[in-house]
Amino acid sequence: MEKPIKKEYSNGDITIIWEPHKCIHSKNCVNGLPKVFDFNRRPWIVAEGTHSEDIAKQIDKCPSGALGYYFQGKETDEPTKAANPQQVEISPNGPLLIFGKVKIKTTEGEVEKDSKVTAFCRCGSSQNKPYCDGTHQKIDFQG
């Protein structure tokens, strides 16, 4: 299995982590903080776009966990994430959202970790199973 892409963008204070394979294309980032997140720009993330605290607040709203962050000097094995107890939520006509720390064992036996939000496909059409890739919007999934 090919290792998923993981990119980092930094302004010297905060480092934004983007894992595109987890993105469900909710557009929360683009709509909430367009000075930092803009799909039409390359690179599409500009960490210098605003204050680090505002970036962290916006990333905390990412429903899929595709965006994470850490502050310089406070690096850990995992990016800073919301410290919520585990919770499962069904997104209307969308993915199954798991909030909180989970371990996912792949068919190859590898363990992937996530500790903010994990979005699992419910429509059955994702090209990134078990994760949601936003295909439910294209096929007008109802459920």
Q: How far is CA 11 from the centre of its chain?
A: 19
The pTM of this model reads 0.67
pLDDT tens-digit readout, 34-70: 999 999 999 999 999 999 999 999 998 888 889 999 9
Which range of residues forms the domain containing residue 21?
A: 7-71
Last residue of a domain, one of 71, 97, 115: 71
Identify whether 81 is part of a domain: no
Does some domain include residue 132?
yes
Shared domain for 51 and 103, answered yes or no, is: no
Pairwise CA distance, residues 46 & 59, whole Å: 13
Total domains present in the chain: 2
* CA gap 123, 66 in Å, rounded: 19
103 part of a folded domain: yes
Mean pLDDT over residues 103-124, rounded?
82
The answer to whether 12 touches 71, Cβ cutoff 8 Å, is no
Task: Give the whole-number percent of the chain exceeding pLDDT 90.
Answer: 49
Q: Which two tokens stand for residue 66?
A: 């595709």
43 falls within a domain:
yes
CATH code where residue 39 lies: 3.30.70.20
